[in-house]
Chains A and B, each alone.
Chain A
Amino acid sequence: MPVIEMRGNVDLRKALRRFAPDLEKQLRKDLANAMKPVVTKARGFVPADAPMSGWAARAFSEGKFPTYSASTIKSGITFTTIPGKVNPYGFSSMAKINNKSAAGAIYETAGRNGPQPWVGPKGGSSKGVSRSVNPEAGAQFIENLPALTSSLKGRGRLIFKAWAQDQGKAEGAALTAIDKVTKLFNAKISAGPLSKAA
C-alpha cells in the first residue's frame, strides 16, 4: 500500500491538493477567514498622511529613500494561504501576513533598534549608518512615528500592532483550521486506498 509521508506544511498542502482538494479549499478558506481581520486592522493603522513632511511623496526626487504612500502601504499589507518555502532554518509556514511595501516596512519597523549611527555625508558608503546632514535625523524620524507595539511575533506599528491587538485569536483560528483539515484528511485517507503519515 503506498504510503504518503508528509513532512511539514508543504507536503500537507500538496497532499491536500492532490488527494483532497476540497479540504485544501476548505483550509484556505478558514485561514483567510482567520487572517482577514488582522489584515484589515493593520491597514487601518496606516496614517493617511506622511508622519513627517519630509517623508511625503514629492513630485521629483532623486533620492532612493522610499516616500510615504498610504495606499501603497495598505496594498502591501496582505495575507497568503500558500505554504511558504522552507527557510534556511528548515521551517515553513501554512499562512502569512505580509507588509510588502518598502514604505510600509519602514513605517512598521522604524525605531526597533534605535536610530542609526550618524556618520554624516562624508561617512563612507557603509550600510546601517546615517549620512544625513542632520545628526539627529534618525532619532527625529523615529520620534515622528508612533510607538512600536510589541507582540509575540515582534514589534511594529501595523501588522504587528494588529496581531498584538488580536491577542492570538487569528492564530488560534488558523491553527484550528489546520488541525481540522489534517484530521479530515487523515480520516479520509485512512478510509481510502491510501494510507499516510502526516
Chain B
Amino acid sequence: MALPVISIGTKLDAKGFKQAETATDKLGKSVNSLGKKLGLALSVGAVLAFGKAAVRAAAEDEKAQKQLALALKNVGLGRDVAASEAYIQKLSTEFGVVDDQLRPAYQALAVATGDTAQSQKLLMLALDISASTGKELSTVTGALSKAYLGNNTALGKLGVGISKADLKAGNFNDIVNQLAKTFKGAASASADTFSGKMAKLSVSIDNAKETLGKGLIDSFMILTASTSIEELQVKIEEFATSASENFKKLAGFLKENETLIKSILAILAATYVSTKILTGVAATITAIKLLNDTYKILRATALATAIAEMFALNPYGAAFMVAGMVALIGITIKGVDALTDAWGKADAAKNKALDPFAAAGQGHLRELESRYNNAALKENKKLTAEELKKLSAKRLQLAIDKARLALGKGEDVFDIQKIQLAAATVNTARQLGEVTNQAQLLQITNDLARLRVKQSMSDLEDAIAAKDIVAIQAGTAKLNKDLLILSALTNQKLKLVEIESILKDIAPKDLISISNLEKAIALLKVIADMESGKMPTHAAPILGDPNASPKGFPTDAAINDALAKGSFVPVVPGTGGVYGGSGRAGDYASSGFPGSAMGYSTGNNVNITINAGLGTDPEELARVVENVFNQSGQRGTSTNRDSGVYVL
C-alpha cells in the first residue's frame, strides 16, 4: 500500500540512461493506460481495440433499440418509439447515464404503465432517486414498476423515506408525488458534480463508440455487399477462416505483378524518349486499369478479411499483428489509390483532349513531342523532296533517253534528207522497172549510184556525230566504194561484176526483178564493149530481139525511130558487125538522118538531142560527143571538113 507522500523539489535524476529509459517507458505505459481509459486512439492497436469495442457497442445498441421498439409495440406504444428513443438519448446526455441502463428501465416502466408520459415521468423520478440514494437505476425502476402495479414492497426497500403505512395506504400517484418532491433535482445535482461530469463524458464517449461502430458496420456491409448485420456476421466468419490467405493473395498479387509494374515503369521511361508517346501512354493506362480493377477486388476482400481477423483473433495478443496487416493494406490501398487517381486523371485528360500529358502536368513533353514530330515531318518532307528530285531526274533522264531513242528513231523518219533519199531511191527503183532503153537504164543507174553516195555520206555523218568508230570506218569504206561506183558509172569504167553488185546493192530488193536486171546488164555490156572496142555479142538489143525481125535486122522504121530517139543502133548479131555497131552505125545512123547515105537527104541539118543524166557535165558530154565523132571520122564513117561539121 502506497503511503500518501508529498514530494518537494522533485527532479529527474538522469543518473544512468537506463533509469531514464525505464522512466519514460513506464510513463508511456501510464499514458497509454490513461488513453485506453479515456478511449483515446494513441496507437494502432488502440484504434483497433476501440474499433472493435465500437462495433460491439453499436451492435448492442441496435439490439437494445430493437428490443425497446418491440416492447413498446407490444404494449400499444409503437407510435412513440421514436419519441421514446429521443427522450432516452436526452436523459443520457443530460445526466450522464448510459442508454444501456435507460432503455431497460424505460422498457420496464412502459410495460407496467402502458403510457409514454407516465413512463417518462417515472423514469425521471427513478433517475433522481438513483442519484440521490445511490441505488441502481434498474432497482429503482423495478420498484416503481411494481408499485405502479400495486406492489410497494420493493419501493419500501429502497429506503426512499416513505413509511410502511404510507406505502400500504397511499395510492401510487401520491407516493410518486412525494418521491418527486423528496428527490427533486437530485439527478441534475449529481450530473453537475465532477463524477457526474465524468459520467457525461463517458456517455458521450460511449455514444461516439456506438456512432463509430455503426459507421464501421455500414462500411463493412458495403465492402462485403451485405444486406444485414447477420449476413455480415456470416461473411465475417467465413472470411475469418481464410483471412491470412486473402492477405497473402494480395501480397502475392503485388509480388506476382512486380515485373508487370516494373515493365510499366520501363515503358513509361522509354516512351519519354520516343515519338510514340501517345501509344505508350495509352498502353500503360490500359495496363494500369487492369491492375487497378484487380486491386479493387482484392482490396475489398483484404480489408474485410483483415477486419474479420480482428474479430476472430485475440485482440490483445494479435492486435498489433492485425494492425500491421491493416496498415500494410492501407499503405497499399493508399498507394494504389494514388496511382489510380494519377492515372485516372491522365486517362481522363487523354480522353477529353487527346492530350495525356496536360492532365499529368507534363505539357513540356507534349511540346517536345510536337517539336519532334514537326522536325521529323520536315525531315521527311526534305527527304521526299530530294528523292523526288532524284526521281524526277531519273524520270527525266529516262524520258530523255526515251526521247532520244525516239528521236533517234525519228531522225530517220523526220530527217528530210533521208526522206528525200528514200523517196528518190524508191522512185528510182520504180523507174528502173519502167526503163525501156539502155540510156534510161544507165541514167537510172547513175541516179541510184548518186543516191547511194548521198545516203552513205549521211550515214557517215551520223556515225561521226555519234562518235562510233566502228560505224565511221564502215561508213567511210562504204562511201568510198559508192564513190568509186559512181565514178565508174560516170566514166563508164565499171566492170560488170561490179555493176551487177552495185545494182544489187543499190536497188531495193523488192523492186529488183530479173528482167530488169538482165536488161540493165545487157545495156552495160554494150557500153563496156564500146569502151573496150569490143562489140558486145550478147547484148540484148534494146530495140528488141534482132531475131525477131525477118532477118534479124531491125526495120528501118525501127532504126529511124531509135535514131530519132537518140538511141544506139545495136549490132546485129551474125552480121559481123556489118549491121549495127560502129561499122554500119553510121549508115544506119545517117540513113535516118537527113543527108545520110541511107536515103536520108543530105544538106539538111539534123539536131540530135542527147539525154544526159542529171548532173552531167556539159563539157564532159561535149567531149564524149566529140570523141564519138572523132572516132567516127577515124573509122571513116564521117568526115570532118574542118568546119566543125561532121558529115556522117
Residues of A bordering B, CB below 8 Å? 7-11, 31, 34-35, 38, 84, 86, 88-100, 102, 104-105, 108-109, 139, 153-154, 156, 158-160, 163, 170-171, 174-175, 178
B19 within 8 A of A: yes
Q: Which residues of B contact A96 (CB under 8 A)?
A: 5-8
Given contacts A8-B11, A31-B9, A90-B14, 19 further A-B contacts (CB under 8 A): A35-B8, A89-B27, A90-B20, A91-B11, A92-B11, A93-B8, A94-B8, A94-B11, A96-B6, A96-B8, A97-B6, A98-B3, A98-B6, A105-B1, A153-B7, A156-B4, A175-B8, A175-B9, A178-B9
Q: How far is the CA of A89 from the CA of B14 in the complex (A)?
A: 10
Q: Which residues of B contact A97 (CB under 8 A)?
A: 5-6, 8
Indicate if the CB atoms of A89 and B8 lie closer than 8 Å. no
A92 and chain B: residue at smallest CB distance: B13
Indicate if the CB atoms of B22 and A90 lie closer than 8 Å. yes
Q: Specify which of B3, B6, B22 is in contact with A88 (CB 8 Å cutoff).
A: B22
Q: Specify which of A90, A154, A160, A175 is in contact with B19 (CB 8 Å cutoff).
A: A90
Q: Which residues of A contact B1 (CB under 8 A)?
A: 102, 105
B15 and chain A: residue at smallest CB distance: A7
Indicate if the CB atoms of B4 and A93 lie closer than 8 Å. no
CB distance from B1 to the nearest CB of A (A): 7
Indicate if the CB atoms of B14 and A174 lie closer than 8 Å. no
CB distance from B478 to the nearest CB of A (A): 134
Indicate if the CB atoms of A9 and B9 lie closer than 8 Å. yes
Q: Which residues of B contact A38 (CB under 8 A)?
A: 6
Q: How far is the CA of A30 from the CA of B3 in the complex (A)?
A: 25
Q: Which residues of A contact B5 (CB under 8 A)?
A: 96-99
Give per-residue flags for B18-41: 1 if the beta carbon is below 8 A from chain A beta carbons, else 0. 011011101100000000000000
From known contacts A7-B15, A8-B14, A95-B9, infer whether A89 and B26 are also in contact, taking CB-CB under 8 Å. yes
Q: Specify which of B9, B19, B22, B26 is in contact with A94 (CB 8 Å cutoff).
A: B9
A158 and chain B: residue at smallest CB distance: B4
Q: How far is the CA of A1 from the CA of B438 in the complex (A)?
A: 161
Q: Specify which of B8, B15, B24 is in contact with A95 (CB 8 Å cutoff).
A: B8
Q: Which residues of B contact A94 (CB under 8 A)?
A: 8-11
Q: Which residues of A contact B12 (CB under 8 A)?
A: 8, 90-91
Q: How far is the CA of A89 from the CA of B12 in the complex (A)?
A: 8
B335 within 8 A of A: no
- Chain A CB within 10 Å, residue with most, of B6, B7, B9, B14: B6
Indicate if the CB atoms of B4 and A84 lie closer than 8 Å. no
Interface of B is mostly: mixed
Q: How far is the CA of A119 from the CA of B465 in the complex (A)?
A: 142
CB distance from A14 to the nearest CB of B (A): 11
CB distance from B32 to the nearest CB of A (A): 15
Q: How far is the CA of A108 from the CA of B23 in the complex (A)?
A: 27
B410 within 8 A of A: no
Indicate if the CB atoms of A93 and B23 lie closer than 8 Å. no
Q: How far is the CA of A108 from the CA of B2 in the complex (A)?
A: 12
B134 within 8 A of A: yes
Q: Which residues of A contact B20 (CB under 8 A)?
A: 90
- List 24 A-B residue pairs with CB atoms under 8 Å apart, sorted by A's residue number: A7-B15, A8-B13, A8-B15, A9-B9, A34-B8, A86-B13, A86-B15, A88-B22, A90-B23, A91-B10, A91-B13, A92-B13, A93-B8, A93-B9, A93-B10, A94-B9, A95-B9, A97-B6, A97-B8, A98-B4, A99-B5, A105-B3, A153-B7, A158-B4
Q: How far is the CA of A31 from the CA of B19 in the complex (A)?
A: 27
Indicate if the CB atoms of B4 and A159 lie closer than 8 Å. yes
Q: How far is the CA of A105 from the CA of B22 in the complex (A)?
A: 28
We find that the number of chain B residues with CB closer than 8 angstroms to chain A is: 22
Q: Specify which of B3, B9, B26, B134 is in contact with A174 (CB 8 Å cutoff).
A: B9
Within 8 A of A (CB), among B282-333: none
Q: Which residues of A contact B7 (CB under 8 A)?
A: 84, 91, 93, 95-96, 153
B194 and chain A: residue at smallest CB distance: A150
Indicate if the CB atoms of A88 and B13 lie closer than 8 Å. no
Indicate if the CB atoms of A90 and B8 lie closer than 8 Å. no
CB distance from B231 to the nearest CB of A (A): 40
Q: How far is the CA of A96 from the CA of B9 in the complex (A)?
A: 9
Q: How far is the CA of A98 from the CA of B8 in the complex (A)?
A: 11
CB distance from B193 to the nearest CB of A (A): 12
Q: Specify which of A9, A102, A174 is in contact with B11 (CB 8 Å cutoff).
A: A9
Q: Which residues of A contact B22 (CB under 8 A)?
A: 88-90
Indicate if the CB atoms of A88 and B23 lie closer than 8 Å. yes
Give per-residue flags for B249-272: 1 if the beta carbon is below 8 A from chain A beta carbons, else 0. 000000000000000000000000
Q: How far is the CA of A173 from the CA of B385 in the complex (A)?
A: 103
Q: How far is the CA of A104 from the CA of B4 in the complex (A)?
A: 9
CB distance from A129 to the nearest CB of B (A): 15
Q: How far is the CA of A10 from the CA of B3 in the complex (A)?
A: 22
**Top 6 nearest A-B pairs by Cβ distance?**
A94-B9, A8-B13, A90-B23, A93-B7, A97-B6, A89-B23
Q: How far is the CA of A97 from the CA of B22 in the complex (A)?
A: 26
Indicate if the CB atoms of A163 and B13 lie closer than 8 Å. no
From known contacts A7-B14, A90-B14, infer whether A174 and B4 are also in contact, taking CB-CB under 8 Å. no
Q: Which residues of A contact B23 (CB under 8 A)?
A: 88-91
- Chain A CB within 10 Å, residue with most, of B4, B14, B23: B4
Q: Which residues of A contact B24 (CB under 8 A)?
A: 90
CB distance from B25 to the nearest CB of A (A): 9
CB distance from B203 to the nearest CB of A (A): 18
Q: Specify which of B4, B8, B15 is in contact with A10 (CB 8 Å cutoff).
A: B15
- Chain B CB within 10 Å, residue with most, of A11, A91, A159: A91
Indicate if the CB atoms of A153 and B6 lie closer than 8 Å. yes
CB distance from A25 to the nearest CB of B (A): 17
Q: How far is the CA of A30 from the CA of B8 in the complex (A)?
A: 12
Q: How far is the CA of A76 from the CA of B357 in the complex (A)?
A: 82
Q: How far is the CA of A38 from the CA of B134 in the complex (A)?
A: 36
Q: Which residues of A contact B26 (CB under 8 A)?
A: 88-89
Q: Which residues of B contact A160 (CB under 8 A)?
A: 4, 6
Q: How far is the CA of A138 from the CA of B5 in the complex (A)?
A: 24
CB distance from B270 to the nearest CB of A (A): 60
Indicate if the CB atoms of B13 and A154 lie closer than 8 Å. no
CB distance from B31 to the nearest CB of A (A): 12
Q: How far is the CA of A90 from the CA of B13 in the complex (A)?
A: 5
Q: Which residues of B contact A139 (CB under 8 A)?
A: 134
CB distance from A193 to the nearest CB of B (A): 24
Q: How far is the CA of A98 from the CA of B3 in the complex (A)?
A: 7
A83 and chain B: residue at smallest CB distance: B9
